[in-house]
Chain A
């Protein structure tokens, strides 16, 4: 979320040590820094090299971390927003993060159907009303077994049926196991939706409702906004977050720690407050995947709803609210 709304500021020190010149050059050229200001050395006018602008000090200051790792204080008037960083290229987004194999564990015993995960996901990805990438379903395995809440999202299968059927390579599986979709290539045939046994894909039937701020965002399959009319959308394991080494929005949003996310190669999954060894967790708690018989090899594992934290009824009122 913050990567969209928050404006990034990059500063340079105009009075640099000689050995810092290379770094300054890197910042200026490589990152296409548009604004430059700053300085917290003892010099009288630290902003004279700030070229174009002759801003007047406003008196309000902000604390920032300099490139040297020092905390510096800068006047607000000298801050200038830097255009959004160019996102990873389409090719990079298609390759994925080397050496990773992302995996999610959903602990059914903790789910209360609060749908905070859903709200966080909808908000973070600017989903139109009615569209949900996460769906929380009331499930019952047999007539006399106990019902439970089952959050479902894209399973990021290792043998994804959606990728098999896509005629134009718009949906693809990356080496880190994340299945993404390229909105710029999707022709809207909806074959992937027909092929997905988990019914996780959604379609932009009309013009997506997005703010102008979001509409001007540079597009990459990793951060799929702005969404486009006539294309398929789906849960992306928050590929932009994972690239930065952060947890997906649903994981951090859930107050009950239902979701655990991690890297199978590291054999660890975390919800932010607790971290588990993935293989132990799956073995000890009887982890399973949905519709194993279809051979799709999902990357989402479930822990059975035993020793529950909440009774099933506790989430019902939330569901009535949604469907009314």
Chain B
């Protein structure tokens, strides 16, 4: 009797969590994202043809929103390790429904981080030079190495926990259709779910969880070192690694909150992603925002107090000059307001959380812009003897199109992954459900 209820429950859970076809909204969403990405591809074609002249970057601002975008992607990809690895290793059970969302975001973001860095290159056709003439003392080489490592670990960390779910998916041939069925068989038909396989997979996931944390810390620290290893005012900071990591955790968690809300709404997962999850993610988010605030104070207070000649121009421009509106917008919407909202219990309900998540992500994007551009506009030697256009920077339409295209592309990957695979790990949910009922029966 008890057993049959359990089986019925299981079937209900599986039916709830199986990935379904897109409804109209879904199709429109995919259509819009594809269109934006294609505009980006066209803009990139133009850039390849005419050179980086189509951007508004010039000799002083030689890195623009492409690099800001790259840092943003690297930052948001850090969430995969936060939710999956940190929660898993710390034995945080409530994180289970969020792990796959986090991993999908991580994979999509790291793919586009690598793409956008190639887009930024003046001679992408010579990309292979990085492999035939590598110089290990360059922070770019470190970045190439850790991004590749992180990419593969992220893929595996998405793949291994999927295997038991693929076995379940294979049972529903009619629902998935022949093409997807073939794809599932290709990915996971070797998974029989035997005890031995289960143990192996558990071990593998554990190893990955342990390795991904230092790799994730490294990838973002190395990205910060791309800036911090130069002599530029505003980048010449020992705080940069920690500052970047804190910011990355914050934007990553913000991204997960946004995705949680959207998936919950669109796939009617209210039973699985509960108010409690939002409340707990809210607590995590407020903690991370406080941490990031702390590193921000560290980053700006010490040079601001001294106002060294080389830093003064940059700092004044940032805090009260032409970059001040964006700076204060990024700090307020990205850090301070989220802290205020999330400190209240009512602020940790789904809708306010969703809005806060968007604020965090948008604020973080602008924060990355502020890390790159103002410094480049404040070199040690004054800008002189260059064309007028070199003194300012506002991205050209091609730059916007490519950057927005890359963001749309990342969201498209997340959307398609959620169409193919269950957003919430089915097998793990079942196991936890069994544990719960068993605990209740005792």
Contact = CB atoms under 8 A, between A and B. Distances in A.
Nearest to A140: B382
Interface in B149-198: none
A169 interface: yes
B231 A205 contact: no
Interface in B219-269: 226-227, 229-232
Contacts of A230: 51-52, 121-123
A194 interface: yes
Interface in B91-122: 120-122
Interface string A129-160: 01110011111000000000000100000000
A164 interface: yes
Contacts of B140: 165, 167, 189, 191
B63 A190 contact: yes
Contacts of B59: 131, 193, 199, 201-203
A161 B133 CA distance: 18
B185 to A, nearest CB: 41
Contact of A130 (B52, B133, B135, B387): B387
Interface string B348-380: 000000000000000000000000000010011
Interface stretch (A42-50, A180-188, A210-218, A252-260): A180-188
A165 B230 contact: yes
B51 A195 contact: no
A166 interface: yes
B90 interface: no
A323 interface: yes
What is the predominant secondary structure among interface residues of chain A facing chain B?
A: loop
B62 A194 contact: yes
Interface-centre pick from A189, A198, A204, A291 (highest chain B CB count, 10 A)? A189
B377 to A, nearest CB: 11
12 contacts: A161-B231, A167-B134, A168-B133, A186-B123, A186-B126, A188-B122, A189-B120, A190-B120, A191-B139, A194-B227, A230-B52, A230-B122
A198 B380 contact: yes
Interface-centre pick from A139, A186, A198, A205 (highest chain B CB count, 10 A)? A205
Given A161-B230, A203-B52, A166 B381 contact: no
A231 interface: yes
B381 A187 contact: no
B385 interface: yes
Contacts of B50: 206-207
A205 B120 CA distance: 12
A205 B64 CA distance: 13
A189 B133 CA distance: 14
A76 B308 CA distance: 67
Contact of B385 (A204, A205, A322): A322
B275 interface: no
Interface of A: 118, 130-132, 135-139, 152, 161, 164-170, 185-191, 193-195, 197-199, 201-207, 228-232, 290-291, 294, 322-323
Contacts of B231: 161, 195, 197, 294
Given A186-B122, A189-B120, A205-B58, A199 B381 contact: yes
Interface string B299-315: 00000000000000000
Contacts of B137: 164
Contact of B51 (A137, A139, A207): A207
Interface in B368-406: 376, 379-388, 390
Interface of B: 50-53, 55, 57-60, 62-63, 120-124, 126-127, 129-130, 133-135, 137-141, 144, 226-227, 229-232, 376, 379-388, 390
B380 A165 contact: no
A144 to B, nearest CB: 15
Interface-centre pick from B57, B124, B382 (highest chain A CB count, 10 A)? B382
Given A137-B382, A188-B122, A189-B120, A205 B388 contact: no
Contacts of A136: 384-385
A198 B381 contact: yes
Contact of B129 (A132, A135, A185, A294): A185
A189 B121 contact: yes
Contacts of B229: 164-165, 195
Contacts of A190: 62-63, 120, 122
Nearest to A185: B129
A135 B51 contact: no
Contacts of A188: 52, 121-124, 126
B271 to A, nearest CB: 49
Nearest to A193: B62
Contact of A205 (B57, B135, B382, B383): B57
Nearest to A195: B230
A190 to B, nearest CB: 4
Contacts of B135: 166-169
Interface-centre pick from B55, B138, B139, B388 (highest chain A CB count, 10 A)? B138
Contacts of A185: 126, 129, 133
B140 to A, nearest CB: 4
